[in-house]
Amino acid sequence: MSARGGGPKPDPAAQDARPAGHAAGPADGADAAEEPESAGGFGGGRLFGADAEAGAGRSGRRGRRGGRKGRGGGAEGTDGEGGDEGAPRRRERRTGPAQIDPDADPEAAARAICLRQLTGQPRTRAQLADALKKRGVPDDVADHVLGRFTEVKLIDDAAFAAAWVDTRHQGRGLARRALARELRQRGVDASLVDEAVERLDPEQELATARALVARRLPATRRLDRQARMRRLAGMLARKGYGEGLALRVVREALDADEADHPDDDDEFGAAGPDDDGWRYDPLV
């Protein structure tokens, strides 16, 4: 029933259902302008009374923007814990490999790290030791685990070196000097490095050098002889071939190619002794 003066009587149950923090007092319409939004973010508080319709639209739009920017926290329209309103949450940048759990068994953690490292490709003992050190495994535990892996042949630097020489020579055409450098960079012992590269037959190395030059030769035909010499010998130098072998192979290839294509000599300059004055640089 309506009270005298027009409006319905306020329902006590409805008053009790108001959100926490909404003080009892004058009509809601009078307090709407002073009602603050909740600290949780845009759209967290509720407007009552006369401004409810207009405020709801503005709050909703701001809430959606805040929800998109403040990912990583609460629901849409609220920020994550500890963040500013609407501020984007930045991911923490990792500065290095994660350290092992201090409460975990360090030996079990070291074994797990080594097994993950060995999945997909073999590695040297030095590479695994470096991985364990970066993860904070104590040195004595690392030595014990690496020793055990070596006993059961999960680590075999001699086999690693032999396979490396075969695959890198056949796939990339690398000579003994370059192969030895790569193995040393991976921590293989010097005696094992020497043993592995000595397995490469000098005749096979010479045949590979000739094949590399023959593959590159057609692309150099528009250059003069000295430029061709520099380019081809530089390519062999980068792959680890010695000066004597590289210059001999390149000269032989150039002589044969110029005999087969005499017209190129007339157009771009005949072969001469200039190539003998070019200085071989193994670091080209």
Does any domain span residue 280?
Answer: yes
Tell me which of 200, 228, 262 is where a domain ends: 200
Q: Containing domain of residue 140, as a range? A: 106-155
Residue 62 confidence (pLDDT): 54
Tell me which of 164, 180, 200 is where a domain ends: 200
Residue 1 confidence (pLDDT): 47
One domain for residues 237 and 160? no
Q: What CATH number does residue 116 fall under?
A: 1.10.10.10
Residue 179 tokens read as 């192969």
Residue 7 confidence (pLDDT): 52
Read off the pTM.
0.59
Look at the chain and report how many structural domains it folds into.
Answer: 3
One domain for residues 193 and 251? no
Residue 2 tokens read as 């309506």
CB-count exposure of residue 196 (10 Å: 0-12, 13-18, 19+)? buried
One domain for residues 178 and 209? no
Does any domain span residue 134?
Answer: yes
| 94-117: pLDDT as tens digits | 556 778 676 688 999 999 999 999
Does any domain span residue 166?
Answer: yes
Residue 49 confidence (pLDDT): 43
Does any domain span residue 266?
Answer: yes
CA 159 to each of CA 96, 154, 163: distance values in angstroms, whole numbers, following the listed order: 30, 11, 6
State the Cα–Cα distance between residues 194 and 180, nearest whole angstrom: 7
**Residue 183 in 3-state DSSP?**
helix
State the Cα–Cα distance between residues 1 and 5, nearest whole angstrom: 12
Q: Give average pLDDT by consecutive 10-residue segment, the chain, 284 residues.
A: 50 49 46 42 40 50 51 45 52 64 84 93 96 93 96 96 95 96 96 95 94 94 93 95 94 91 54 46 45
